[in-house]
Amino acid sequence: MARYELVKRSVALITLTNPPVNSLSSAVRHGIAKTMDRALSDPKVTAVVICGENGRFCGGADIREFSGPMRGPPLLPLLDSIEAGEKPVVAAIEGVALGGGLELALVCHYRIAHSKARLGLPEVTLGLLPAAGGTQRLPRLIGIPAALELITTGRHVSSQEALKLGIVDQVTEQNVCEVAVEFALRAVAKPLSSRRLSALTVPCPPDLDALLEAVTMQIQKKARGMMAPLACVQAVRAAATMPYSQGIKRESELMATLFNSGQARALQYCFFAERTAGKWTLPSGAQWNDTKPREIRSAAVIGLGTMGRGIAVSLARVGISVIAVESDKKLMETGRQMVIGMLERDAKRRGVSASLNLLKFTLSLQNLKDVDLVIEAVFEDMALKKRVFQELSKVCRPTTLLCSNTSGLDVDALAGVTDRPQLVIGMHFFSPAHVMKLLEVVCGPRSSSETIATAMSLGKRMGKVSVAVGNCPGFVGNRMLKPYSDQATFLLEEGATPEQIDKVLEDFGFAMGVFRMSDLAGLDVGWRVRKESGLTGPDVDPKNPPRRRQGRKYCPIPDMVCEQGRFGQKTGRGWYMYDKPGGTNAKPDPLIQNLLETYRSRYGIKPRNITDQEIIERCLFALANEGFRILEDGIAARPEDIDVIYQFGYGFPRHRGGPMFYASMVGLERVLERLEHYHQAHPDVSHLEPSPLLKKLVACGSPPIQKWREHIKTMHSHL
Ligand SMILES: CCCCCC/C=C/CC(=O)SCCNC(=O)CCNC(=O)[C@H](O)C(C)(C)COP(=O)(O)OP(=O)(O)OC[C@H]1O[C@@H](n2cnc3c(N)ncnc32)[C@H](O)[C@@H]1OP(=O)(O)O
């Protein structure tokens, strides 16, 4: 786990060997301790170089070990002993030096980085802080303001930025180990005391309190409810105000609190969930690592509305040539201006030139003959989409993949009108598509494994977190949204207000409460879908009992809001009022209060006081309950996929893990008991009825989330 060689007769070269990222597992720590002892005690050795195998210095502590008992030598004393040694130690940083990896580099007396290396202390993103001296050494090296920024955000820096900040001593484009060995030989006779960071005094800014206060406020705004960034501020404060030995004690105390917190567990779960999500498998046995994706060089996007524009930008900025199609000249010109503007702004932000030459605009599908892939992003109307797919089937060469950006319609029905159902798949982007990181890849029963692999790989190329899901109304994300938002509107009937519900959900950590999110998305979209499915509008039988549709409880309040022309932010009025159409500053609207009061009195509903706990339980347990049904139905392969979808597509707080992880943290037994309780109170609300899988898991003793799959029958897998 750490290889030892003597090079140039007097330099001990220690290579960390723990693929893929040379994480500091107990065996690696043991290896470092052993090889360092050997180097320090061998009189032939005058200097040491530490590097990592396979072009990666070190990705930090082995995160998988955090869930088990601590084994092997603890990192902190090991690192302290390297720094205290009497022979110069040089870190040769290639690839990454992250977390414990950078802390290891910080105890080396010198640091040489390859020009392509990235460095950082990302522990905060895992709900932790750099607890092997990182919060004490980095401020001593680069000063409080810069260290505070890096430690509280977990941002990775390039080696060039690291050089500017003073984190590394030299950046090279050559073989970093060879450069480090030469550097080490030159360092042999030099004194080491000024190179031991723990012995330095911290350059303390005069306005320390004001700085810490400003950073704390920024964190409270941006990372609402998260413990780790605030603990990082406290640890850096300790570096500024205490001697090293006391600062280290404070760092360890803060780490102990974080380490055992649910937030750290959730964030570490998210780290692995995100990496698991790309690993799809089909019941046929085909899977992510044995199916080659097709290469995509050219694509077409049909429809230049908000979604189509974002998709076109996402494709062009990764070098794919795009033909964008609109149905009339005016719409095409508006779309052209918007796409060009978005690409130019994006390129400016990234410091690259905008790839405008990759874009073409047309009014005719006939121009799509030769593209590798088409993404249809027209209005959410099945008849219209079918017409487009029929036409594409005639126009495009037989090998062109046909994808739909539908947010919930039947992908197989679209496949059915083409001559190539195996090449049809859903690519459900989230708005705005060039910003949002989620992509649901919707696999129809006839989508081939090559088609799935190509859509997944294209998503990755566009920088998306892609999750393969099965084909059912709403797929995973929007299917689960229904019970969640239904509960919110039922709570309005019973006495809550939009702002009360939103506040509870935002305090829980959601980026936006359900009503603010609907105002942003536009209320008319859901209204049209409800009209089309006969839930509201002129087609509803007048004899239909009020507040019941299609045999279920129904809340018409969202329809009443739309009937008043209130479609959300774009009309300046929705669940809230805004300063102007397009405004974003949501204020409670007395007209909505009136509407709710009138509604309740019309139906004889006596408003009651609704607690925050009831809001959380009814909205979030209904959400997770639908997630259990989705797992049962084989629409998602594992709970991690659902959680990734909710974090990246719906603003679910990452430090809570996602709806399924949250349910597991609350305790499945408790979730079941509360759902039973609410279902008893609302027997006509079917999504409050506990799902069979939830009951089964509880009956099996509530296994940990990683084991749920063993209890799910894959017989009905839609993947
Ligand atoms: C009381 C305890 C005291 C402890 C004191 C010391 C504390 C130290 C804290 C830490 O060091 S926490 C860890 C900090 N490091 C990180 O957060 C880095 C995490 N990794 C990454 O960001 C990326 O993996 C990467 C290193 C930038 C590489 O990215 P790339 O896209 O190339 O590959 P991935 O697909 O992300 O990863 C490949 C593979 O490796 C697994 N992995 C990566 N890092 C770790 C790690 N630190 N520990 C364990 N496993 C890691 C990753 O899960 C992938 O494997 P999989 O099987 O495909 O999931």
Dist. CA 97 → ligand 1 center (Å)? 11
* pLDDT surpassing 60 at residue 716: no
Whether ligand 1 lies within 6 angstroms of the CB of 75 is answered as yes
**pLDDT (mean) for 424-434:** 96
Whether ligand 1 lies within 6 angstroms of the CB of 62 is answered as yes
Whether ligand 1 lies within 6 angstroms of the CB of 407 is answered as no
Residue 371's closest CA among 398, 391, 390?
398
Dist. CA 14 → ligand 1 center (Å)? 21
Whether ligand 1 lies within 6 angstroms of the CB of 64 is answered as yes
Dist. CA 16 → ligand 1 center (Å)? 15
Query: Which one-letter DSSP state was computed for residue 467?
Result: E
Dist. CA 156 → ligand 1 center (Å)? 13
User: From CA 213, how far away is CA 219, in angstroms rounded?
Assistant: 10
601 burial via Cβ count (<10 Å: 0-12, 13-18, 19+): exposed
Dist. CA 150 → ligand 1 center (Å)? 18
Confidence of residue 226 (pLDDT cuts 50, 70, 90): very high
Whether ligand 1 lies within 6 angstroms of the CB of 133 is answered as no
Dist. CA 122 → ligand 1 center (Å)? 10
User: From CA 318, how far away is CA 305, in angstroms rounded?
Assistant: 21
Active site residue 123: yes
Dist. CA 462 → ligand 1 center (Å)? 22
Q: Taking a C-beta distance cutoff of 8 angstroms, is the pair 384, 378 a contact?
A: yes
Q: Pairing between strand 96-98 and 118-120?
A: parallel
Determine the pLDDT at residue 648. 97
Whether ligand 1 lies within 6 angstroms of the CB of 21 is answered as yes
**pLDDT (mean) for 457-482:** 96
* pLDDT surpassing 60 at residue 511: yes
Residue 402's closest CA among 378, 425, 435?
425
Determine the pLDDT at residue 546. 84
Distances (CA, A) of 196 to 50, 95, 162, 441, 630: 16, 24, 18, 51, 55
User: From CA 194, how far away is CA 2, in angstroms rounded?
Assistant: 28
**pLDDT (mean) for 417-433:** 97
User: From CA 300, how far away is CA 313, in angstroms rounded?
Assistant: 12
* pLDDT surpassing 60 at residue 715: no
Dist. CA 64 → ligand 1 center (Å)? 9
Q: Which of 123, 251, 376, 493 is catalytic?
A: 123
Whether ligand 1 lies within 6 angstroms of the CB of 20 is answered as yes
* pLDDT surpassing 60 at residue 627: yes
What secondary structure does DSSP assign to 111-127, as a single string? EEEETT-EEE-GGGGGT
Tens-digit pLDDT profile for residues 352-386? 999 999 999 999 999 999 999 999 999 988 999 99
What secondary structure does DSSP assign to 654-697, as a single string? GGG--HHHHHHHH-HHHHHHHHHHHHHH-TT-GGGSPPHHHHHH
Beta carbons within 8 Å of 79's beta carbon, 6+ residues apart: 103, 104, 107, 132, 133
Ligand 1 pocket, mutate which of 63, 116, 258 (most atoms under 8 A from CB):
63
Whether ligand 1 lies within 6 angstroms of the CB of 79 is answered as no
Beta carbons within 8 Å of 719's beta carbon, 6+ residues apart: 280, 281, 282, 283, 443, 468, 469, 470, 634, 635, 636, 637
Q: Taking a C-beta distance cutoff of 8 angstroms, is the pair 461, 630 a contact?
A: no
Dist. CA 375 → ligand 1 center (Å)? 34
Dist. CA 277 → ligand 1 center (Å)? 16
* pLDDT surpassing 70 at residue 163: yes
User: From CA 154, how far away is CA 177, in angstroms rounded?
Assistant: 26
Active site residue 103: yes
Tens-digit pLDDT profile for residues 209-219? 999 999 999 99
Confidence of residue 181 (pLDDT cuts 50, 70, 90): very high
**pLDDT (mean) for 21-50:** 98
Beta carbons within 8 Å of 95's beta carbon, 6+ residues apart: 52, 54, 55, 56, 57, 114, 116, 117, 118
User: From CA 69, how far away is CA 65, in angstroms rounded?
Assistant: 8
Ligand 1 pocket, mutate which of 21, 79, 80 (most atoms under 8 A from CB):
21
Q: Taking a C-beta distance cutoff of 8 angstroms, is the pair 555, 492 a contact?
A: yes
Whether ligand 1 lies within 6 angstroms of the CB of 132 is answered as yes
Nearest protein CA to atom 42 of ligand 1, as residue? 21
Beta carbons within 8 Å of 64's beta carbon, 6+ residues apart: none
Tens-digit pLDDT profile for residues 638-657? 999 999 999 999 999 999 99
Q: Please enumerate, as own/partner, the contacts of 691-695 that have beta carbons within 8 Å and a separation of 24 or more.
A: 691/625, 691/626, 691/628, 691/629, 691/632, 692/632, 693/628, 693/629, 693/631, 693/632, 694/625, 694/628, 694/668
Dist. CA 662 → ligand 1 center (Å)? 23
Beta-bridge partner residues of 553: 548
* pLDDT surpassing 90 at residue 532: no
Atom of ligand 1 nearest to the CA of 259: 1
Nearest protein CA to atom 30 of ligand 1, as residue? 21
Atom of ligand 1 nearest to the CA of 101: 11
Q: Which of 83, 103, 274, 614 is catalytic?
A: 103
Query: Rounded mean pLDDT of the chain?
Result: 96
**pLDDT (mean) for 145-174:** 98
User: From CA 209, how far away is CA 194, in angstroms rounded?
Assistant: 28
Whether ligand 1 lies within 6 angstroms of the CB of 117 is answered as no
Whether ligand 1 lies within 6 angstroms of the CB of 122 is answered as yes
List the alpha helices (DSSP H) in 108-243: 134-142, 144-153, 159-165, 176-187, 208-222, 228-241
Helix (H, G, I), strand (E, B) or coil at 405: coil
| Order of strands across the sheet that contains 156-158 | 96-98, 118-120, 156-158
Sign of the Cα pseudo-torsion (41, 42, 43, 45, in order)? negative
Whether ligand 1 lies within 6 angstroms of the CB of 32 is answered as no
Whether ligand 1 lies within 6 angstroms of the CB of 23 is answered as yes
**pLDDT (mean) for 559-577:** 97
Whether ligand 1 lies within 6 angstroms of the CB of 151 is answered as no
Could you tell me the two tokens for 548? 């019941």
Query: Which one-letter DSSP state was computed for residue 99?
Result: T
* pLDDT surpassing 80 at residue 713: no
Atom of ligand 1 nearest to the CA of 66: 2
**pLDDT (mean) for 624-630:** 97
User: From CA 640, how far away is CA 230, in angstroms rounded?
Assistant: 27
Atom of ligand 1 nearest to the CA of 98: 15
User: From CA 639, how far away is CA 659, in angstroms rounded?
Assistant: 9
Atom of ligand 1 nearest to the CA of 275: 59
Could you tell me the two tokens for 532? 């089309």
Distances (CA, A) of 568 to 482, 528, 594: 18, 14, 18
Dist. CA 707 → ligand 1 center (Å)? 22
Determine the pLDDT at residue 552. 87
Nearest protein CA to atom 26 of ligand 1, as residue? 59
Stated pTM of the model: 0.94
Q: Taking a C-beta distance cutoff of 8 angstroms, is the pair 396, 373 a contact?
A: no
Determine the pLDDT at residue 542. 83
Whether ligand 1 lies within 6 angstroms of the CB of 635 is answered as no
Whether ligand 1 lies within 6 angstroms of the CB of 275 is answered as yes
**What are the phi and psi torsion angles at 111 (to 5°)?**
-135, 125
**pLDDT (mean) for 664-692:** 97
Residue percentage of the chain with pLDDT more than 70: 99
Nearest protein CA to atom 44 of ligand 1, as residue? 59
Q: Taking a C-beta distance cutoff of 8 angstroms, is the pair 229, 219 a contact?
A: yes
**pLDDT (mean) for 559-584:** 97
**pLDDT (mean) for 469-498:** 97
Whether ligand 1 lies within 6 angstroms of the CB of 123 is answered as yes
Sign of the Cα pseudo-torsion (45, 47, 52, 53, in order)? negative
Confidence of residue 714 (pLDDT cuts 50, 70, 90): low
Can you give the length of the chain in residues?
Answer: 719
Atom of ligand 1 nearest to the CA of 20: 40
Distances (CA, A) of 691 to 617, 632, 633, 652, 682: 16, 9, 11, 22, 16
Confidence of residue 284 (pLDDT cuts 50, 70, 90): confident
Atom of ligand 1 nearest to the CA of 76: 5
Angle at CA 487, nearest 5°, toward 484 and 491?
145
Determine the pLDDT at residue 415. 98
Nearest protein CA to atom 29 of ligand 1, as residue? 21
Beta carbons within 8 Å of 75's beta carbon, 6+ residues apart: 24, 29, 61, 100, 103, 132
Determine the pLDDT at residue 70. 86
